Amino acid sequence: MSRYHVLVAIVLTICFTAHVGARQGYGPGEQDWGFVDVRKGAHMFYWLYYTTANVTHHTERPLAIWLQGGPGASSTGYGNFEELGILDLYGNYRNHTWVKDMNVLFIDNPVGSGFSYVDNVLTQLTSTNNEIAKDLVEFMKGFYGLHPEFESVPLHIFCESYGGKMAPEFALELYYAIQRKELRSNLKSVALGDPWTSPIDSVLSWAPLLLNMGIVDHDGYTKIMEAANKTEDLVNAEKWVQATTQWSNTQRVLLQESKGVDFYNIEKPTRGDAYTRLLLRNADSMELMYRTLVHFDIDEDRDQLLEDLMRGPVVKALNITSKVKWGAQSGSTFTRQMGDFMKPVIHIVDELLDKTPLQVGVFSGQLDLICATPGTVNWINKMKWSYKSSYEAAPRVGISVDRILEGYEKNAGNFTMFWINRAGHMVPADNPAGMSHILKNFTNFG
């Protein structure tokens, strides 16, 4: 066989191997999906979209992981159809989908979320952030086993909300696993979107933000702060379950005093005071706790559309077994994390910055309430890392996209903070132009 024919054979083998998992799923483009057993009896679901970019091979573009919040929200549902996937909730092509520039991997995480499931909910759900992180590392081992062509492809971890607790520890555990040669991965960065990284800093920012925006008066501010300060006292005493319960109580006070402001975008129209009173009267505290942090949406019809889509056409297209039932938000998963929910992970971000070469970013929508920007700025100020003084002295510069001011950024060392204008909790959906700047900063595409 000539050298030419040998080279052709090698190229064809590589191409065939790389595409062996590509299938036609729900919507346009090549996809793959399935379950990885992260522990005995714990089955984590993923949905991979191969990039639709005009490239010879999809491995020419990076792989972006998307982790939703909650804990217990579905990445394959919310992140995919509400924020950055190829199709929106109504089946229309999304112009700002990330898939046009890179490969996107949605993971239903922790187990018990979305299509992910466990054989025994009493013993196999996670209860700590570290358990979640280690499950995700095991997932990546399984994923790379199924898709070895991605081992050398730059990997970027993006997340939202409670993902801002999960993603830093996942990235750190994954980095150390790579160093121990437990797997091969070209991990490059982790970016935290509107993150719940330091829960109490978020809670303490609610009342000042609402007062400054004119959404509550001084009386409402005082009532919300009293509830928030009780939450802080429990956090300081490390009474974590009680702190989570008091967090829920603080939300109730906030909803009452604001007459039903939207937690995810303070400028979003809501049904107002009467509907809020009805919701609070009919919802027990646990329901409100796990519903509100991930997706307190007044548009119940939209929530039902997503559920109908995931349990109908998606299940059929992906041939999901009938014993697996997709859930928008897992109450069981949230409940098992109650003792960990209010714990901060600022120290994990510090370790990422000082002990790894990874690029670390935080982006925050100015109209978010649940993980409000002022709270995020406050916990960033608490970080203890080598370039802290350089960061504090660094200028904050404007982000302009197509000659429009979309926000601001500030960076030092391997850390960057992004303030995004005209965006709430879901930055990829609210301000795609601002998000494109962040994507280019981390992946060189977007």
Question: Which of 116, 161, 258, 364 is the catalytic position?
Answer: 161
Question: Which of 32, 135, 368, 430 is the catalytic position?
Answer: 368
Q: What is the DSSP-derived secondary structure letter of residue 310? A: I
Cα-to-chain-centroid distance, residue 38: 20
Own/partner pairs, 266-273, CB within 8 angstroms, 24+ separation: 266/209, 266/210, 266/213, 266/215, 266/367, 266/368, 266/369, 266/424, 267/367, 267/424, 268/424, 269/298, 270/298, 271/298
User: Residue 362's beta-bridge partner residues?
Assistant: 192, 417
The question of whether 96 is a catalytic residue gets the answer no
Q: Which helix (H) or strand (E) holds 36?
A: strand 30-39
The question of whether 425 is a catalytic residue gets the answer yes
Nearest to 408 by CA among 438, 367, 371: 438
Question: Which of 58, 156, 295, 425 is the catalytic position?
Answer: 425
CA distance 212 to 216: 8
CA distance 166 to 168: 6
**DSSP-assigned letters across all residues of 364-396:** EETT-STT-HHHHHHHHHH---TTHHHHHHSPP
The question of whether 161 is a catalytic residue gets the answer yes
Q: How is residue 143 written in tokens? A: 């994923």
Rg over CA atoms, the chain: 22
Q: Which residues are annotated as catalytic?
A: 161, 368, 425
